[in-house]
Amino acid sequence: MKNFDHHSGAYLDSDGAQIYYELTGNENRPVLLLLHGGFGSIEDFNVILPDLKQRFKIIGIDSRGHGKSMLNSMTLTYEQIQKDVERILAHLGINKLSIIGFSDGGTVAYRVASMTSLHIEKLVTIGSHWHLKNTESVKEIFLKITGESWRKKFPRTYDLYQKLNPAPNFDFFTQSIIKMWLDSNSSGYPNEAVKNISCPLLIVRGDDDHLLLKDAVVELSKFIKNSHLLNIPFAGHVAFEDQKEIFMLSLNEFLQR
C-alpha cells in the first residue's frame, strides 16, 4: 500500500476541468477522504498516511487548479471544489465516508458535511475557516499575497506546482486562491449552514496558528453539538505535521470511538 505519488491516479472531467485523484489503503475497509489545503496537493498527507492505510480505503483529491488538477478559466470557489469532490465520489460509487480536511480542504469538508446528502460518518478539520468572519484578522495578509511573493517565501510549493500541473499559470492560480479566500457569496464559506452538521466532528488547531484564531474554533465547538476541540500546543497552521504524535493519538481515539 503506497503513499500518494502523482503517478498511479486517474482523472475525472468536472465542469470542463480534469480533476486528479488517487486511491490507496485497504480496499475492504471504510472510506476516508483526504482534502488538502491551498497551494498544496495530496502529497501533503503522506506524513500521516502510514498510520491510516491499514484501516481505511483512502481517497486523495488534488483540488481544482492544484497538483495535477486543471483550473481552466472557471472561477475557483469552495462550492466548485465541493462539486468536484461530489462528482468523484459519485463516479467511484461512494456515498458513505469519513473526511479529514486541512485548511481549505477543511472548509470544503464543512460544506460537504452541511450541504449534501452524503453520509459523513466522521469529520476532522485542521486549521480550517468555517465562516467569512474568521478571515477578518488575516484579510490584509491575504490581499498582500502575489504569485511573486509566494514564490519567494515558499519556493518548494511553487516548484512542485510547476512540476505537477498540466497547464501551469502560477500568477493566475494565486489570484484565484485569494479570491476564494475572500469570497463573501454563497459559493464561499458555509457560515451558519454548519449547524446542519450532525456527524461527530474533531476540530483541530495549532496553538500558534496565526491564520485561524482560537475564538473561531471555540465558537464552532459550541455551535455543533457532537464536536470535540483539539488545540495542539507548539504547533502552527500545519498542526498535523508540526506535532504529528499528539495529532495521531487524538485522531486515532476519535476515529475508533
pLDDT digits (tens, 9 = 90+) for 217-254: 999 999 999 999 999 999 999 999 999 999 999 999 99
pLDDT over 70 for what percent of the chain?
100
Residue ranges and CATH numbers for the domains of the chain are 10-256 (3.40.50.1820)
Residue 123: closest CA among 246, 245, 212, 226: 226
Q: Quick one: pLDDT at residue 73?
A: 74
What cell numbers appear for 226 in the block? 457532537
Q: What is the CA radius of gyration of the chain?
A: 17
Which pairing describes strands 57-61 and 96-102: parallel, antiparallel, or unpaired?
Answer: unpaired
Which three cell numbers, joined as nine digits, stand for 67?
Answer: 497538483
Per-residue model confidence (pLDDT) at position 134: 95
CA 100 from chain centre, in angstroms, equals 7
Average pLDDT over residues 98-102: 98
Q: What is the pLDDT of residue 74?
A: 75
Task: Classify residue 59 as left (phi > 0), alpha (psi -120 to 50) or beta.
Answer: beta
Grid cell locating 74: 472557471
Cβ–Cβ contacts within 10 Å for residue 171, how many? 12
Segments of the chain assigned E as strands: 10-14, 17-25, 31-35, 57-61, 96-102, 119-126, 201-206, 227-232
pLDDT tens, position by position, 22-63 = 999 999 999 999 999 999 999 999 999 999 999 999 999 999
Do residues 101 and 126 make contact, with C-beta atoms less than 8 angstroms apart?
yes
Q: Report how far apart the first and last C-alpha atoms of the chain are (Å, whole number).
A: 25
HSE on the CB side for 104, CA within 13 Å? Answer: 28
Tell whether the model's pLDDT for residue 20 goes beyond 90: yes
- Rounded Cα gap, residues 133 and 126, in angstroms: 18
Q: Tell me the torsion sign for CA atoms 154, 38, 23, 30.
A: positive
What is the arithmetic mean of pLDDT over 117-126?
98
Q: Choose among 192, 245, 207, 56: nearest CA to 126.
A: 207
pLDDT at 1 over 90: no
Report the pLDDT averaged over residues 168-197: 97
Buried b (16+ CB within 10 A) or exposed e, 55-81: ebbbbbbbbbbbbbbbbeebebbbbbb
